[in-house]
Amino acid sequence: FTWVVPAAAVASPHRPAIGLFATTPDDPRLGHGTSGMVFTAANIETTYRELKAKGVTFTLDLIRHPYGEGEGDQEARFIDPDGNEFLLHT
């Protein structure tokens, strides 16, 4: 597994990063709509409500974990029209 920070991202206040991992043709995750993409939001509750109001299909409604900074990490999972799953995270 390798984290990549694109050169253009260094100047960005959002510091986007891309995680890459090697796989094999028999990997059970392949073909199941797992994108591995994570989107972060400054205000996840507002972002979640806005996406839901626009008709985005969530496979995991917004939850708060007991770990992380402050009151804990929050996450929700959603799919695109092709069934690929994405993570919205604090």
The confidence score (pLDDT) of residue 67 equals 80
Evaluate whether 30 touches 23 at the Cβ level (below 8 Å): yes
**pLDDT, one tens digit for every residue, the chain (90 residues):** 455 566 666 666 666 666 666 667 777 666 555 667 888 888 999 999 999 999 999 999 999 988 877 777 899 999 988 888 889 988
The confidence score (pLDDT) of residue 32 equals 56
Q: Number of structural domains, the chain?
A: 1
The confidence score (pLDDT) of residue 1 equals 47
Domain that holds residue 84: 2-89
Tell me, what CATH number does 72's domain have?
3.30.720.110
Helix/strand/coil for 12: coil
The confidence score (pLDDT) of residue 20 equals 61
